Amino acid sequence: MPGGLPNLPSDALASYLFAIEIDSIEIAQFAEVSGLASEMDVVELKENTKDGKLVIHKAPGAIKPPTITLKRAKNSSKALWDWHQAMLEGKVSEARKNGSVILKSYDGAEVARYNFENAWISKITTGALKAGANEVLMEEASLVCEAFKRV
């Protein structure tokens, strides 16, 4: 950060201190969030100079919002499935939701926020069912969004 303090080891954030908000409602039951990324396409223009040398110019292309993956223990709630089902049934405006991934400090204060817009669940997966397994059944939802930014 220009002009700011250096990042000291004690400033590091813990990966387990996060929350998810969907349409301004905080949902605290997710075990994992991944896919928080910002990416742009790169447009290349290849030209030859008058000497015959190849020159490659690079310019920014389209912004590629991420696919955010949410994982949680499977329970009896149908909330994620109903959200996904709305898009399957063509209820596009109902299925698109805004939300945030919020990073918190050790005392619970918000220290970073990533907002996503017009997100909907493109894929929902229930983990493997295994006889004799001694583990929690997990559910995973893939959110596609139209905009993503850190605020």
Tell me what the mean pLDDT of segment 20-26 comes to.
93
pLDDT at 1: 54
pLDDT band per the 50, 70, 90 thresholds, residue 45: very high
Mean pLDDT score of the chain, rounded to an integer? 93
pLDDT at 60: 97
pLDDT at 10 over 90: no
pLDDT tens-digit series, residues 78-116: 999 999 999 999 999 999 999 999 999 999 999 999 999
pLDDT at 7 over 90: no
Q: How many CB atoms lie within 10 A of CB 99?
A: 22
Q: DSSP assignment of 109-134, as one string?
A: -EEEEEEEEEEEEEEEEEPPP-TT--
pLDDT at 23: 94
Tell me what the mean pLDDT of segment 133-139 comes to.
94
* Structural domains for the chain: 9-150 (2.30.110)
Tell me what the mean pLDDT of segment 122-142 comes to.
95
pLDDT at 27: 84
Share of residues in the chain with pLDDT > 90 (%)? 87
CA 97 from centre of chain: 13
